[in-house]
Structure 1
Amino acid sequence: MMIPRMLRCSVLLFLILAVTSCVHTPPLYVNLSQHNPIIDDYKALTNAGLAQRCCPEFPLKDGWLGGDGDVSVPLDATTTLFLFSDSYVGQQNQTKRNVPGTKIIANTVAIQSCKWEDESEINYFWNRMYTSNPRPVFEPKKHGNKFWVNDAFLLEGKLYVLLEEIGEKENAAPDDVFNFTQVGYTMAKIDNPYDTPLTWNIDYLPLPGFQHPQTGISCLTRHKEYVYFFINNNDRVQQLVRKAVTDFEDMDHGFEYFARDRSWQSGIETADMDTLFTGFRCTTVKYHSAVKKWVMIKDIQFKTNEIKMRCSPELTGPWSEERVVYTIPETTPGNEHYHENNFCYLPRECTQNYNSKSCEMVMTYDVNNFDLSYVINHELIYTPRVITIYLPVEESGGPEE
């Protein structure tokens, strides 16, 4: 149910269910080389027109049959790159998962173009499309491992993708849904992100200083001359590491951590890191000029039904207490979309779709189910949800003019 449009944003955050409706146009080939790149996407205006023009949508088409992760990067004022983790794929005209030959691969990407009023087009990509052996866009060296997409950003015309390497969990039970473990992080660098993804030049830069669970990277953001990494120490304590953009490709050196004395120190020393706050990990951190604060979206704790937010005037804090911004219908008993085996995760803000006039934030999140046969036969499961919530502006007094 959509709530009425407000002339001013509410002081309080309401629990909103606002599944967004978009118009899909026939498939067209996207030539990204004709686009003008945004050199530093963290400076991109969030009211560039996407909010009024179109919203994210993820139809099952081009043989793409659903995925999770839903990381988004604005490529220009009308184009968004989406990066997914585990994805179902099939043949070009296939729209159902319960068809022989359907495969699941570790990651896929999509490009959404919003060139006309209320209309958009999206095209999906992965390697060896429509063959008997489809492959993901990003692949680790170790056979049997895979990359999930954690976050991504543009820097001086290059795309950087934070990848979480996943391996098999030892002694996992045959029916264990979570039969995997995190084994490390890698930064993928793409120097031609405006070309078709099938022709990307990908260079993999290992991140040896980070290891789950003590230094697991939950999200990152760009601010001025640094990229900031939020560290989820055992998913209980959140800490901060940064690296200057001037030598960003040297992943063995140049990191600094925010120390207990609230100074920046060289290296990555977990024992001396300051605790920004206690609590669960983040998924996105974006700056909103409407409130003059950083807005952090928190991951959904397992089998719960709430998406939460924190705010801070500075990345180093002080961070506010958690606020519930959305109650998830798929995991709320009594809701028509509820199923007892559902679980939800990875809510992320699509900052390029923020509507500064109405203070509406667009977010995605993922729905899964313990029963694999249920996922295979229900296409609404394991397809990104799109919702809208209102951003609080109690300090600024109203939306941007």
Structure 2
Amino acid sequence: SVCKDGEFVFEPHWLVDRQGDAKPIFDSQKLDDLGLIYWPAQPVLHEGQLFIPLMRMNRKTWGIEGTDLARIDNPTDRPDQWRIEILPLSSLWGIHPIGSWLDDDYLYLMWNPKWNAIATRLPISRLQAAHFKPEREQFYLSQDEQWKPGLVVEDSKLLGLVANSGLTLKYQPDLQQWFVTYADFTDGISQGIVTRTSPSPFGPWSEAKLIYSFDTEYARRPGIMCYTGFMHDQYSSANQTLVSYVCNEESEELFTDMGIYFPQFFAVSL
């Protein structure tokens, strides 16, 4: 997405195979042979490199069979011209990253086991290393609030954020508070996007405040589910930010009405 002449523009990019058909930016023959596709999660930019967690999704069952980390050293070029290095991040089934952020020392990831967020971190000093192995260099926040090697779901601290597929964290220095935005799935299906605050990204978090209800043309249709809640800092001011979400559904209607899956945007005051 870019701003051109004062207008917000969403630009899709894709690769083209030998038959001239479109294929995803993150694609390979190895993935095809395994019956998998990549589903990107929230990226982070660090010293000119872009890092994107990629869920390994089974084409038939849509089960998550692990997570990789894409390292891209030319992110300002068109996505179909990116130089992409794929690094293993997690071999665990059924969980995936739902959010990420940076501080001076670490890249942090939030994960989603059973729809309750947990946290891991990777040292920033290693992100650009030639032999960076994120799966071996990852630490998780344990129930006793210690950072321990690896990713052990059963021993991880639950952060109380019930987000199924995506959230965004933003620090407000003037308020000395973290803001988190996500589609709340506490009741099993989300009715809208909420925000919460905390002095720490690891909680405790305030009560959820509904900032946007999924009462739209698409969300009212039977069988359609809306989810995620991403803040876009590049279009934010001191007191306002832009938030996006998407909808999806399981029938073939998605192939005839692509507007169902087109990202939706709205502004919200902080």
Q: Which structure 2 residues correspond to residues 41-52 of structure 1 after superposition, within 5 A?
A: none
The corresponding residue for 2:142 is 259
Matched residue SS, 1:253: helix
Question: Larger Rg: 1 or 2?
Answer: 1
How many Å apart are 1:275 and its aligned residue? 2.5
The partner residue of 2:58 within 149, 161, 167 is: 167
The partner residue of 1:239 within 97, 118, 143 is: 118
The corresponding residue for 2:266 is 387
Q: Is the CA contact 1:258–1:274 (under 8 Å) kept in the aligned structure 2? A: yes
Query: Could you say which structure has the higher strand fraction?
Result: 2
> Aligned equivalents of 1:135 and 1:292: distance in 2?
43
The corresponding residue for 2:110 is 230
The corresponding residue for 1:326 is 212
> Aligned equivalents of 1:336 and 1:267: distance in 2?
41
The corresponding residue for 2:97 is 217
Q: Is the CA contact 1:300–1:347 (under 8 Å) kept in the aligned structure 2? A: no
Residue 2 of structure 2 corresponds to residue 112 of structure 1: yes
How many Å apart are 1:300 and its aligned residue? 4.7
The partner residue of 1:296 within 166, 180, 183 is: 180
How many Å apart are 1:159 and its aligned residue? 0.9
Instruction: Please report the RMSD computed on the Cα atoms of aligned residues, expressed in angstroms.
Output: 2.5
Q: Is the CA contact 1:151–1:163 (under 8 Å) kept in the aligned structure 2? A: no
How many Å apart are 1:296 and its aligned residue? 1.4
Residue 10 of structure 2 corresponds to residue 128 of structure 1: no
Q: Is the CA contact 2:218–2:260 (under 8 Å) kept in the aligned structure 1? A: no
Distance change in 2, residues 1:294/1:130 (3 Å)? farther
Q: Is the CA contact 2:190–2:227 (under 8 Å) kept in the aligned structure 1? A: no
Matched residue SS, 1:252: helix
> Aligned equivalents of 2:232 and 2:202: distance in 1?
23
> Aligned equivalents of 1:336 and 1:186: distance in 2?
32
Distance change in 2, residues 1:196/1:187 (3 Å)? same
How many residues end up aligned between the 2 structures? 260
Query: What TM-score do you get using the length of structure 2 for normalisation?
Result: 0.85
Q: Which amino acid aligns with 1:338?
A: R
> Aligned equivalents of 1:189 and 1:345: distance in 2?
26
> Aligned equivalents of 1:168 and 1:378: distance in 2?
21
The corresponding residue for 2:47 is 156
Q: Which runs of 5+ in 2 are unaligned?
A: none
The corresponding residue for 1:355 is 237
Q: Which amino acid aligns with 1:157?
A: G
> Aligned equivalents of 1:267 and 1:369: distance in 2?
35
> Aligned equivalents of 1:322 and 1:234: distance in 2?
19
Distance change in 2, residues 1:278/1:338 (3 Å)? closer
Q: Is the CA contact 2:122–2:134 (under 8 Å) kept in the aligned structure 1? A: no
Query: What TM-score do you get using the length of structure 1 for normalisation?
Result: 0.59
Q: Which runs of 5+ in 1 are unaligned?
A: 1-110, 170-178, 392-401
The corresponding residue for 1:305 is 191
> Aligned equivalents of 2:64 and 2:103: distance in 1?
27
Distance change in 2, residues 1:371/1:278 (3 Å)? closer
Q: Which amino acid aligns with 1:191?
A: D
